[in-house]
Structure 1
Amino acid sequence: METFFNEIFDYNFHCNKKLIEQCLALDSVSPETVRLFSHILNAHHIWNARILNKPSEYDVWQEHDVKNWADIHYENQRSSFEIVTNADNFDKRIDYENSEGRLFTNTLQDILFHIINHSTNHRGQIAVDFRNHDEIPISSDYVYYRR
């Protein structure tokens, strides 16, 4: 399981890094892309904090300046790799409070997979936003990454 999560977090890191680089090269980034990518970063951070039972530094929809995305992304990735490396049981149940204050429990495996799936979903929305602004989005399909 550790190998699997290391691989998909590496894929996630790769795609987000390419997207950050592309946004930094643009003259301007649409407000929707800023909103969605900031949310990707925030959610990843929040889930890591929940797993580690630490307070979150970010709100779910807090927006970040594009120039700060890479640092936040790197820290998210570092934290996730640390979580995966130190996990002795991926079926361990994690209790947490969602952004609305409701209590839930999920396995570590479910949460880690959710981080990746959530990011993939919103990168797809960002790709649509790019197309709507006559920009070519990055290729972020997993199979292309693995080739």
Structure 2
Amino acid sequence: MKEWTMQLFDYHVWTNDRLIQHLKGLPEAVFLNKVNSVFPTVAETFGHMIAVDELWYLRMKGNSLQQIVSKSFSTIEDTVKASTILHNEIKDFLINTENVEDMVGYQNTKGDQFNNKIAEVVQHIVNHGTYHRGNIAAMIRQMGYEGVSTDYIFYLRDK
């Protein structure tokens, strides 16, 4: 189960990196242009994704943080730095976790208490990222540019 959990998280990092590399090849304005979507800009969408990854990471570590701490990025480079630091910390945490079946107790943003396995939390992080990467793909297309494939099968073929 640990190997599977690590692979899922590796996919999450790989696909975020793939999307960021694609964005680097587009005009800089694509990152900050406002469009009609879940979040108004690609930058704000990445800010939300990284903030939520951090929230769940802190919960896995035993921090009872209830609120999402907003992240704001004005450049792709700032996004890469923050994402790399956080995702390396999460990888280290998972590597050093003996049993991903261990339970994590936390309160949601409404103050309700829940318990989930570390592996389930990682699955949630990955699914949440997939949803918002889809948002970003749609945003890029709204601006007239092609997206990039972030499907899991492409990750497997690339590894």
TM-score range relative to shorter protein: 0.7 to 0.9
**TM superposition outliers: structure 1 runs of 4+ over 4 Å:** none
Residue identity matched to 1:12: H
Assess if the C-alpha contact under 8 Å between 1:19 and 1:138 holds in 2. Answer: yes
- 8 A contact 1:35–1:61 mirrored in 2: no
For 1:36, the equivalent position in structure 2 comes to: 45
1:61 deviation in Å?
A: 4.3
Equivalent pairs: percent with the same residue? 25
> Is 2:111 the partner of 1:112?
no
Distance (Å, rounded) in 2 between the aligned partners of 1:99 and 1:65:
27
**Structure 1 position 3, deviation (Å):** 1.6
* Of 72, 75, 91, the match for 1:81: 91
Q: Which residue of 2 aligns with 1:99?
A: 109
Q: Is the 8 A contact 2:45 2:136 kept in 1?
A: yes
Give the Å deviation of 1:23. Answer: 2.8
Q: Over aligned residues, Cα RMSD in angstroms? A: 2.0
- Is there any run of 5+ residues in structure 1 with no aligned partner, and where? none
Report the Cα distance in structure 1 between the residues aligned to 2:110 and 2:71, rounded to whole angstroms. 15
Closer, same or farther in 2 for the Cα pair 1:126/1:51, shift >3 Å? same
Q: SS in structure 2 opposite 1:106?
A: strand
- Is contact 1:41-1:73 (8 Å) kept? yes
Q: Given that residues 64 and 106 in structure 2 are in contact (C-alpha distance below 8 angstroms), is that contact kept between their aligned partners in structure 1? A: no
Q: Which residue of 1 aligns with 2:3?
A: 3
Structure 2, gaps ≥5 residues long: 34-39
Q: Which one of the candidate residues 68, 72, 76 is aligned to 2:78? A: 68
Deviation digits for residues 84-103 of structure 1, max 9, x if unmatched? 21222222111112233332
